[in-house]
Amino acid sequence: MTEKIVSLAELARSIPDGASIGFGGSFLHRGPFALVRELVRRGARDLEVIKASPGYDIDLLARAHAVSRAKTGIVAIEGGFGLAPAYRRAIEDGELKLEEHSCMTIAAGLRAAAAGVPFAPVAGVFGSDLLELNQWKTVADPYGSGKETVVVPAIAPDVAVIHANEVDARGNARVYGSPHWDHPLTRAAKRVLVTAERLVSSEHLAQQPELTLVPGFMVEAVAIVSRGAWPGSLHPDYEVDYQAVAAYLEPGEEALARHLAAAPEAQAFVRA
Amino acid sequence: MPEWRGAEYVVVNLARAIQPNEVVFSGVNSVLPMAACILAKRAYDFPFTYLSVAGGVDVVPERLPRSSTDPALLAGSAAIFSNEDFYDLATRGKLDLIYLGAAQIDAFGRTNVSAIGEWAHPKVRLPGGGGAAVMMPTAPRVALWRTEHSPRTLVETLEFVTAAGNTVVLVTPYAVFERDPAKNERLHLATHRPDVTPAEIAARTGFAFDAARAVPTPTMSKHERAALDAIDAFDLLDNEMPKNQTLRGA
């Protein structure tokens, strides 16, 4: 085995307090949720979350007082559960400082960082109070169309963490289904970490290289975590565990402890 | 028994916003528009393209998922139309109709999905507008929905403008409002539930509107009824509606 395969705990320890982290997936779907829980278990503090549509992940970090800053576009538990309660409380209490985006403005910032330019244009935004709130600038078309375009600054997360279906020992990561925003995210971040459902051979990935979302040379480390997107879904392997989401949303420290103990990676540890 | 039960009025009237041959998009946190697109696929005989935020193209699942981002809206799709693809499609003006939700909506179809109270020190932090600020001014037609029809949700002045742009229709549990964005005009009452009067709707609405052209909403067609029954997700849809909302009293 090469040095890229590490334990989930080692992966979480490699993310220092104060880091800005871009999480893959969207809402309850294909998020690197085992890693998020492991950050809570290691007592992470002062993190920044960068994600267009977080939910369970940012709510869990807010509940554990691990997150102090965020760039988000829309935040909810979704799946009929409504708003993310701990995230909401953290903002209303002033514990979490939000930079409110419009999803595509985060993607544009990531694209800028990925392309190595200091800012990127994004359509629309005019008429929204987000323009003044974020002090985003506009530029006149230097080629003379007369059109004014909003530009947003580059966003380069310290770390990107995505959950993949399959990974080989060299870190090549295959994803089935929607890439969500994981493509620009993994190109923009300074470091890329992967959790993956299964370890597979490089020959297997080479049969359909177009399914590899991140090539191994860009990936620093990988942890193999079965059911790593729980309680969310991983297409096509498993669906959302709505009972577990409901149990997570029960208030109180005990409910949180029960949720963390019920997670697949904690169960695997107990069995080992 | 009333003609329209629970979420039915909202779902069917959101479906009716779709025009033949349009490319239509339903996003995250949007169970009712997701149901509307699937209803339209089953009930209407004209073609249109249904893009879901899950990445699927024209996927009509057997069972409605609880999340409008669910991979069930991708399963069986012959293509994956990714986030970047549908944002670019919207911003170059080729995404004909999009659905957007909001906490507060004003007479010009602008939305607040950000905060109640001062943005920096909110009384209530709302979810945020998703891609609304980018899509609303660029997609040609925007359909809004709001499941609570009250003076605190349909307001004259928004506490924060999350997004503004090409709103053409607003559907609530009682009424369908319309406007022409090219004229930058206010929403007017287009149709209303037959058992609710325009005066009752005005009493429940925080912005003034013209009701001169208002007519009762057309009865549900047998194709729409059959499609709703086939979707068979009444608990899921009604869960999106506010509890104990009554027009009279409350």
**Domain definitions of chain A by residue range:** 8-102+155-271, 119-153
Chain B: residue nearest A185 by CA? B84
Structural domains in chain B (count): 1
Both ends of chain B: CA-CA distance in Å? 20
Torsion angle of C-alpha atoms B227, B229, B235, B239, degrees rounded to 10: 30
Residues in chain B with CB shorter than 8 Å from the CB of A236 are: 71, 75
Structure tokens at B68: 């409008």
- Maximum CA pair distance of chain B? 50
Pairing, β B111-112 against β B104-105: antiparallel
Positive or negative torsion for Cα A228, A230, A232, A234:
positive
Query: Which of B67, B135, B162 is nearest residue A78 as measured by Cβ atoms?
Result: B67
CB contact under 8 A, A92 and B122: yes
CB contact under 8 A, B127 and A83: yes
Both ends of chain A: CA-CA distance in Å? 20
Residues in chain A with CB shorter than 8 Å from the CB of B163 are: 102, 127-128
CB contact under 8 A, A127 and B161: yes
Torsion angle of C-alpha atoms A89, A93, A94, A97, degrees rounded to 10: 0
Residue B148 lies in a domain: yes
CB atoms within 10 A of CB A271: 6
CB contact under 8 A, B122 and A91: yes
Residues 39-58 of A with CB under 8 A from B: 52-53
Q: Which residues of B71-84 are buried (b: 16+ CB within 10 A; e: fewer)?
A: bbbbbebeeebbbe
Residue B38 lies in a domain: yes
Residue B2 lies in a domain: no
Residues 6+ apart with CB under 8 A from A163: A24, A25, A30, A31, A32, A33, A34, A35, A194, A195, A196, A197, A225, A228, A229, A234
CB contact under 8 A, A80 and B119: no
Bridge partners (DSSP) listed for residue B142: B98, B167
CATH number for position B84: 3.40.1080.10
E strand or H helix that includes residue A150: strand A148-153
Nearest residue to A91 via CA among A67, A74, A73: A67
> Residues A30, A195: contact at Cβ < 8 Å?
no
What is the CATH number that goes with domain A8-102+155-271?
Answer: 3.40.1080.10
Residues in chain B with CB shorter than 8 Å from the CB of A125 are: 133-134, 137
pLDDT of B119-172, one tens digit each?
999 999 999 999 999 999 999 999 999 999 999 999 999 999 999 999 999 999
Residue B71 lies in a domain: yes
Residue B243 lies in a domain: no
Residue B13 lies in a domain: yes
Q: How many CB pairs under 8 A join A and B?
A: 165
Structure tokens at A64: 């554990």
How does pLDDT run along chain A (272 residues), one tens digit per residue?
A: 457 999 999 999 999 999 999 999 999 999 999 999 999 999 999 999 999 999 999 999 999 999 999 999 999 999 999 999 999 999 999 999 999 999 999 999 999 999 999 999 999 999 999 999 999 999 999 999 999 999 999 999 999 999 999 999 999 999 999 999 999 999 999 999 999 999 999 999 999 999 999 999 999 999 999 999 999 999 999 999 999 999 999 999 999 999 999 999 998 766 55
* Mutation site, B88, B112, B123, B125, interface A, largest A CB count within 10 A: B125
The CA-atom distances, in angstroms, between A237 and each of A164, A198, A234 are 11, 11, 5
Chain B: residue nearest A103 by CA? B131
Residue B249 lies in a domain: no
Note the ipTM here. 0.94
Residue B169 lies in a domain: yes
**Range(s) of the domain holding residue B198:** 8-238
Q: How far A73 CA lies from chain B's nearest CA (Å)?
A: 5
Which residues of chain B register pLDDT less than 70?
Answer: 1-2, 244, 246-250
Residues 6+ apart with CB under 8 A from B68: A78, B26, B27, B28, B29, B30, B31, B33, B34, B52, B53, B54
